[in-house]
């Protein structure tokens, strides 16, 4: 039995306070600066590719060769980028990569534990990318090779994007990674009960996204309330 895991990604523009630009307008329309757009596009491609590769690698290490046979054990963006999801991501602030097919019956750790580990691998990869970007920012190492303003601009966008992807994907709402991680940590009877809401989860997620358009005029969004404290904590841990 193969299962596809849809990877949804929330507002990518987040380099100042909660996000850049400071509103929830479509990303490309709200900040037409060429450097910003180029940095954002490159950051999205790298972050999604590494995120999906991490899912595939985790499944392979746990004994499931399905991603390997499907050509997903690569960092080549062409294997991981969903064109429609990427365009929507840039225009509307949320989207997805190509789902990684897995066969949980092949996991050496068992079904639920394996699914949780594979799910956690994606957000963990975003944490690693954010950590690398933060260390490069703090060290100033790349200033020897390219203009420092360019370096800081790109690295901060890249770091902030990955922090947001980390936090958003760990929300315990299906079909996000955090829901599968939660199922792997909870007692079997509780996990079985929650598994029943997996089909309605995307509707809840869409409601949270759309509700932000209504509440933004009052200075907050539901996802912002959920994510901002965690984002600030992660940025503090990164020394930023």
Give a three-class secondary structure readout of 150-179.
HHHHHHHHHHHHHHHHHHHHCCCCCCCHHH
According to the model, what pLDDT value does residue 152 have? 87
| DSSP one-letter code for 21 | S
- Of 234, 127, 164, the C-alpha closest to 13 is 164
Q: How many alpha carbons fall within 13 Å on the CB side of residue 10?
A: 35
pLDDT digits (tens, 9 = 90+) for 111-122: 889 999 999 999
According to the model, what pLDDT value does residue 7 have? 43
According to the model, what pLDDT value does residue 100 have? 93
| DSSP one-letter code for 82 | -
Q: What is the pTM of this model?
A: 0.82
The whole-angstrom separation of Cα 168 and Cα 162 is 10
- Residue 9: beta bridge partners? 95
Question: In a 3-state reduction of DSSP, which class is residue 45?
Answer: helix
According to the model, what pLDDT value does residue 221 have? 79
Q: Which domain holds residue 60?
A: 3-237
pLDDT above 90 as % of the chain: 38
Which residue is catalytic, options 8, 15, 52, 100?
A: 52
The whole-angstrom separation of Cα 235 and Cα 240 is 5
All residues at 6 or more sequence positions from 39 whose CB lies less than 8 Å from its CB, including other chains = 153, 154, 157, 158
Number of domains within the chain: 1
Residue of higher predicted confidence among 52 and 192:
52
Question: In a 3-state reduction of DSSP, which class is residue 101?
Answer: strand
Q: Rounded mean pLDDT of 202-226?
A: 78
pLDDT digits (tens, 9 = 90+) for 31-49: 567 888 888 889 989 999 9
Q: Rounded mean pLDDT of 196-217?
A: 76
According to the model, what pLDDT value does residue 31 have? 58
Residue of higher predicted confidence among 231 and 3:
231
Residue of higher predicted confidence among 144 and 73:
73
The whole-angstrom separation of Cα 128 and Cα 19 is 20
According to the model, what pLDDT value does residue 233 have? 93
Residue of higher predicted confidence among 217 and 152:
152
Band of pLDDT at residue 20, cut at 50, 70 and 90: very low
Is the pLDDT at 59 greater than 90? The verdict is yes
Does residue 52 carry a catalytic annotation?
yes
């Amino acid at each position: 039995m193969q299962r596809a895991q849809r990877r949804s990604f929330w507002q990518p523009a987040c380099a100042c306070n909660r996000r850049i630009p400071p509103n929830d307008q479509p990303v490309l329309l709200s900040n037409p600066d060429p450097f910003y757009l180029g940095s954002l596009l490159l950051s999205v491609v790298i972050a999604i590719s590494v995120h999906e590769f991490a899912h595939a690698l985790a499944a392979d290490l746990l004994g499931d060769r399905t991603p390997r046979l499907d050509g997903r054990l690569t960092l080549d963006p062409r294997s991981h980028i969903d064109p429609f999801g990427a365009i929507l991501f840039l225009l509307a602030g949320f989207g997805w990569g190509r789902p990684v097919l897995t066969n949980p019956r092949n996991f050496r750790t068992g079904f639920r534990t394996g699914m949780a580990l594979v799910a956690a691998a994606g957000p963990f990869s975003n944490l690693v990318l954010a950590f690398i970007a933060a260390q490069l920012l703090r060290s100033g190492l790349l200033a020897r090779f390219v203009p420092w303003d360019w370096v800081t601009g790109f690295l901060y966008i890249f770091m902030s994007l990955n922090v947001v992807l980390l936090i958003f994907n760990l929300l315990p709402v299906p079909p996000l990674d955090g829901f599968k991680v939660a199922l792997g940590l909870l007692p079997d009877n509780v996990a079985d009960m929650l598994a029943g809401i997996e089909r309605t989860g995307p509707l809840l997620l869409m409601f949270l996204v759309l509700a932000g358009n209504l509440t933004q005029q009052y200075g907050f969004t539901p996802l912002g309330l959920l994510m901002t404290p965690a984002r600030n904590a992660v940025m503090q841990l990164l020394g930023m």
